[in-house]
Chains A and B, each alone.
Chain A
């Protein structure tokens, strides 16, 4: 089954404790991206990747890092989480980058930073 898998789905952590949210897709998609969703703000893009070893900032990259060492994986790293990073995070992938293709989304990771 074609899918995008995120882990963990739920996480409560404390300020400053590094964490990684993993994302994996099994569709051989070149394009992957991370979004955060906050009430009243819709989805905002954090980072995206057009292919292996190619990543770029989205609208709200501050406080986040990503890597794309393999085509299927695109982890989101919070080096020193802060309470304003409490949010619902989504990973998505597409066979066509450049904003032109259908995005496939993971089920989301709800992060709370205390």
Chain B
């Protein structure tokens, strides 16, 4: 089945550095969302970018979307130890009368103090 894939699977950086993670998907979309999950907790919505947008900012987050390549990237600038979490992309999908959010497998980010 279709599914987003994040890259890298895991990322370890020093506090203050930027973190970039990528998401690829397989079918056309209306929007793409990024979520954050602290260990074993519920996911928290970070940002949504629509298919007609190329870039969006929210605080220290910058999201880009390239629909021609079916890919998106999430950049976290000036990372902090508190940014340590897993990050997931999610795309909308409508197939055979079924509406879905398709989540990727996530990138585990560790920010070292």
Contact = CB atoms under 8 A, between A and B. Distances in A.
Interface of A: 4, 33, 35, 40-45, 48, 50, 56-59, 88, 90, 92, 97-100, 102-108, 110
A43 B102 CA distance: 8
Given A99-B94, A100-B31, A48 B41 contact: no
Nearest to B33: A102
Contacts, number: 67
A105 B30 CA distance: 21
B56 interface: no
Interface of B: 1, 3, 30-31, 33, 35, 40-45, 48, 88, 90-94, 98-101, 103-106
Contacts of A110: 40
A50 B101 contact: no
A105 B106 contact: no
B110 to A, nearest CB: 17
Given A99-B30, A108-B42, A43 B98 contact: no
A45 B100 contact: yes
14 contacts: A33-B101, A41-B105, A43-B43, A45-B100, A45-B101, A48-B99, A57-B98, A58-B100, A97-B99, A99-B91, A99-B101, A100-B92, A103-B43, A107-B42
A42 B3 contact: yes
Contacts of B88: 42-43
Contact of A105 (B33, B42, B99, B105): B42
Contacts of A90: 42-43
Contacts of A44: 103
B106 A42 contact: yes
Given A33-B101, A42-B104, A50-B99, A100 B30 contact: yes
Q: Which of B3, B30, B42, B48 has the most chain A CB atoms closer than 10 A to its own CB? A: B42
A106 B94 CA distance: 24
B106 A88 contact: no
B95 to A, nearest CB: 10
